[in-house]
Amino acid sequence: MTPVTVFQDKTVALFGLGGSGLATALALKAGGAAVQAWDDNADSLARAREAGIETRDLREADWSGFAAFVLSPGVPLTHPEPHWSVRLARDAGVAIIGDIELFCRERRARAPGAPFVAITGTNGKSTTTALIAHVLAQGGRDVQMGGNIGTAILSLEPPAADRVHVIEMSSFQIDLTPSLDPSVGVLMNITPDHLDRHGTMEQYAAIKERLIQGAGLAVVGVDDAPSRAIADRRGADLVRVHVPHGDVLCTDALTVRDGIVREPDGTALADVNGIGSLRGAHNWQNAAVAVAVARALDLSPEQIQAGLTSFPGLPHRMEEVGRRGHVLFVNDSKATNADSTEKALTAFRDIHWILGGKAKEGGIFPLVPYFERVAHAYLIGAASDAFAATLEGAVPYTRCETLENAVPKAAENAAASGAPEPVVLLSPACASYDQFRNFEIRGNRFRELVQALP
């Protein structure tokens, strides 16, 4: 835990007592603050009381006595409309902040300049966060990883000069961190997302940009127009990262071609070819960003290459879960829309593709250019009719209804295909909610079914 001492002997209001909210309340209490916390969920309130946190309905509180208001990032700050607690805080002139803002203030008070890497982006930020943390840890560093990737930042060990915090940040978390000042700030990419919470694409991009504005060094992927514009505005203390595609060409960036990360002058820095957890152009960008961050934190080229090579990947993100003979089985259950599935389809050939679930807007029509990579499709879930219509005449398909039916059928066909390395790929391009509570449960079930194959 990181005790938050910067509010010692002061009273702090807090709304949202999920995992990070409860960790925040406990960290404030450990640092000597008085906390008055609330949540609309009765179970969360009960857990907080059991942990010794004072709960109080903030609609009945005297806001003039609060030094700050800590808001859970899952609670609307601006759109579609501010939460009632946000309106009360603003009316009382109380600063609205999040748990990462508390960490930033504690870092400045406790260990100014302690290494702090913050990563954001619409896609790829979790894999990149895990990859950076892995490379640094393999290089002998004391690494604390958390934030949006799963572990609340205040549950981690405190900042220190010889300890690196590697923190994934969502746009919601950035919005609640006004004094964000990482040693290294990473922006992977920007595509439309969460506009229901941010209003416009311009506002969403502006929030993402704030992560690198206060960073000592900025590392920016420049393969999309909003990110290129942000990099241009940043100017100094900047590393651009570029994976050439189409007519986009950047000559002053770390560039990845054919799996080799290179300096702008062409000097090779790292090789990601043959690393199963880093297949595909999107993972090349992730690797190049990790190289840039690790170099900035003084790892040697040999340490960086060893870290990349040993990276195990993340569960449910193009996760290699096994082989049966020459057939590779890949769990990409995290791919809940076409954009995510596109990355898997570009990484493999001779694909036996298991897809379906609760469809997103646009379905799989954007994936038509990649159908030539698919040997056979296996349809499950509610989207089967719609997806069959898109596949008709382009890809042979079988209606399987469930994952339990699809996995053995795909395994049988792949083994008999005659291809040198056929792939059974679960990349649903759909939410899981028609048959599974979340994508993790769906991916775990796929893994179980693969392991049960003869």
Q: Establish how many alpha carbons lie within 13 A of residue 248's alpha carbon, considering only the half-sphere containing its beta carbon.
A: 15
**Cα–Cα distance for residue pair 313/122, rounded to 1 Å:** 19
123 is in an annotated binding site: yes
C-alpha gyration radius of the chain: 23
334 is in an annotated binding site: no
Q: Is 148 a catalytic residue?
A: yes
User: 270: part of which helix (H) or strand (E)?
Assistant: strand 268-271
CB neighbour list of residue 278: distance below 8 Å, 6 or more residues apart: 131, 272, 284, 286, 287, 308, 311, 313
Catalytic one among 29, 134, 148, 334?
148
CB neighbour list of residue 398: distance below 8 Å, 6 or more residues apart: 376, 377, 378, 379, 406, 409
Q: Is 125 a catalytic residue?
A: yes
List C-alpha distances in Å: 370 to 7, 302, 367, 373. 54, 36, 6, 6
Catalytic one among 79, 83, 194, 358?
194
**DSSP one-letter code for 160:** B
3-state secondary structure of 426: strand
3-state secondary structure of 370: helix
User: 306: part of which helix (H) or strand (E)?
Assistant: helix 301-309
**Cα–Cα distance for residue pair 228/190, rounded to 1 Å:** 10
127 is in an annotated binding site: yes
Residue 13, both tokens: 């209001």
124 is in an annotated binding site: yes
Peptide bond into 73 cis (omega under 30): no
126 is in an annotated binding site: yes
Catalytic one among 125, 242, 316, 334?
125
3-state secondary structure of 115: coil
Taking residue 57's Cβ as centre, other Cβ atoms within 10 Å add up to 9
Q: Is 194 a catalytic residue?
A: yes
Residue 184, both tokens: 């290294």
Amino acid, single-letter form, for residue 115: P
360 is in an annotated binding site: no
3-state secondary structure of 393: coil
**Cα–Cα distance for residue pair 254/270, rounded to 1 Å:** 11
409 is in an annotated binding site: no
**Cα–Cα distance for residue pair 155/133, rounded to 1 Å:** 17
Strands 423-426, 351-356: pairing kind: parallel
Active-site positions?
125, 148, 194
Binding residues: 121-127
Binding residues for ATP: 121-127
